[in-house]
Structure 1
Amino acid sequence: MNSPDVHEYTADFDDIPGTRVYTAARARQGYHLNQFAMSLMKAENRERWKANERAYIDEWPMTEEQKQAVLDRDYNRMLDLGGNIYFLAKVFSTDGLSFLQAVSTMTGMSVEEYQAMMNAGGRSPEGVRSIREAR
């Protein structure tokens, strides 16, 4: 019995619409992005960040694309670039946002719409389940 190729297997994760699976490849890609986010656990780092975001983020060896995604607070892009939502929570918490507020921005819904959807059981399993197959 042949075991599946791990790269083929994990590539299938990218076929799930609206979902970003945090794989080992994403972890490697986002290492410095996530370390930056974790640095915001310390009050002195939050103060430095708030005083001059660009100067603080330039201390981290991230790609310019990662830095811009953070500065734009584009959480979906940060996830695409290797961010882990639990680490990125430090960024939106520093901005004074709740998890609910931040995640709703990632869906295109208002906070109220997102909360109502989640209280009703989450997203419907009906609809597009595969990007490649458009089904």
Structure 2
Amino acid sequence: MFDNRKQKIWKTIRNSEELQENAIEQLEKAQARLRKVETEADLFRVNGYSEIKREKLNLINSIYTTLEQLENYKNEAIDFEQQRVINQVRQRVLQQALQGALGTLNSCLNNELHLRTVSANIGMFGMMK
């Protein structure tokens, strides 16, 4: 009876040791998987941060490029508008000068001089033919 009891105790101890070994083995496997997952998570996090930084720099560079283009377009528009206004002013000045000259000529020439000038011009045109 004592031997039987002893055998049961030994058997229970061996079963416990086997269960302990299995548990330790499973724990080591789980720890190894955890280390692997942690390493992958760290790589993913580092790569993610790097990608975010790259995208941020790309966005900043794109914004600066767009701002430069807008500044160039603005300057071109200002130059174009200035040139248009300058041309309009030149046209008005020329038109006023011509009107003034015509007025001066008309006031200076009386009818007789006017007729002589017309006759002289007709004579010059006749000689040109």
TM range (shorter): under 0.3
Please state which structure has a larger fraction of its residues in helix: 2
Q: Could you state the TM-score of these two structures normalised by the residue count of structure 1?
A: 0.21
Q: Which has the higher contact order (CA 8 A, sep 6+)?
A: 1
- Larger Cα Rg: Structure 1 or Structure 2? 2
